[in-house]
Amino acid sequence: MTLRTLIRLCAGLLAFALLAGACGDDSDSASTTCEVGQTDGDLNLYNWAEYIDPDLKSAFEAEYGVSVNEDNYDSNEAMQPIISAGNSGYDLIVPSDYMVSILIDLGDIAPIQRDALSNIDNLDPDFASGLPFDPDGEYSVPYQWGTTGLGVDLAVTGEDVPETWGLVFDPELREQYGLDGAITLLNDPRETMGAALKYLGYSLNTTSESELDEAKALVAEATGALAAYDSDQYDELLVAGNSAVAHGYSGNFIVQFDEADDPDQYAYFVPEEGGTRWVDNMSVVADAPHPCTAHAFIDFLLDAENGAALTNWNYYASPNAAAVEFIDPDVLSDPIVYPTDTSTLEFIADTGDFETNFSDAFIEAKG
């Protein structure tokens, strides 16, 4: 048993122990019919850290008379085995695009009961259906979308820093800008292997073993120049001066930059070679103890003003067309939140059996 497997097993056992009390019935969300606004117990939410305005949770609790219990994960790969093991006690999860299709194939998420969602028509048509990971929108409702790129401390690199993944993967460029030991990369196999693949000019969804081997060699070489692999605090480490270049998600950087003494000291960009455009989604766990509360919460966030509040708080773009009129104009016009050119971006796709190759290559590259 690898350390990674052991950690996941322990996490699964801990989650089960913590939530066992919430599993007081054998509800199967696939066989329970929910009505609009119906609740059937407290909501057990399994979400990315700092991804929802606490005031929205409080407003839902006040409106529906239930509690929202939230646990967090730092990668799709950390969340998936806990859900797939069953009896997690969680009702609602927020998987990213490619993980939705994996969870569908595994039977781990239930079909969305659209009749229980009075606000489903608020979705922008571009997000209502036709997304590659869930073409008919049967199992997921888009939550937020954004990009993955690099945050940079311009006080270290200077204003002329090139917008390239070479800052991470080119030893000469790292040396030129004084970056050895001052870089963090996401602790996420698809994102980090994907960054290396884009730098090489390949698709981040390649299923070529030789291309993935090239990317693995790049990541392995860069590992020695890292301050850390980190998916939780990379933005804070950057602003605290513990790193100079950080790989991470667009909205997190905006929040940290705004809280810095000098926000203009920092920049975020998707490197010129391209990067990830992602959509995070709300999905109801197949054996959710409280599927109706989960649907009520999805409908609550699909409300126009609530959807806008979510974007105004976390600085990620909203898939909710009705929310646009309530979103802060400064957020709407920020190209980090709403990029004007998406031509070099790719969604991370489910590569089927090749997913294991990404995970194995990443583990080997980290050493």
User: For the residues of 259-306, what is the DSSP string, one character each?
Assistant: HSS-GGGEEEE--TT-EEEEEEEEEEBTT-S-HHHHHHHHHHHHSHHH
Query: How sure is the predictor about 25, in pLDDT bands with cuts at 50, 70 and 90?
Result: very low
pLDDT at residue 30 in the model: 62
Share of the chain above pLDDT 90, in %: 84
- Cα 295–145–184 angle (5° rounding)? 120
Give the count of beta carbons closer than 10 Å to the beta carbon of residue 229: 17
Chain segment 287-330, per-residue pLDDT in tens: 999 999 999 999 999 999 999 999 999 999 999 999 999 999 99
CA distance 84 to 293: 21
Mean local confidence (pLDDT), 145-171: 97
Q: For 116, which DSSP code?
A: G
Checking if the pLDDT of 347 tops 90, the result is: no
Asked if pLDDT for residue 7 goes beyond 80, the answer is: no
Contact at 8 Å (CB) between 285 and 92?
Answer: yes
Is the model's pLDDT at 12 over the cut of 70?
A: no
pLDDT for 10: 40
Asked if pLDDT for residue 272 goes beyond 90, the answer is yes
Q: Tell whether the model's pLDDT for residue 277 goes beyond 50.
A: yes
pLDDT, position 348: 87
Amino acid 179: pLDDT? 97
Across 103-112, 151-160, 313-322, 336-345, least confident range: 336-345
Task: Express each pLDDT in 221-252 by its tens digit.
Answer: 999 999 999 998 999 999 999 999 999 999 88
**363 vs 24, 84, 130, CA distance in Å?**
38, 21, 33
* Distance (Å, whole) CA 349 – CA 97: 7
Considering the entire predicted model, what is its pTM? 0.81
User: Across the chain, what does the average pLDDT equal?
Assistant: 91
Among 16, 15, 62, which Cα is nearest to 39's?
A: 62
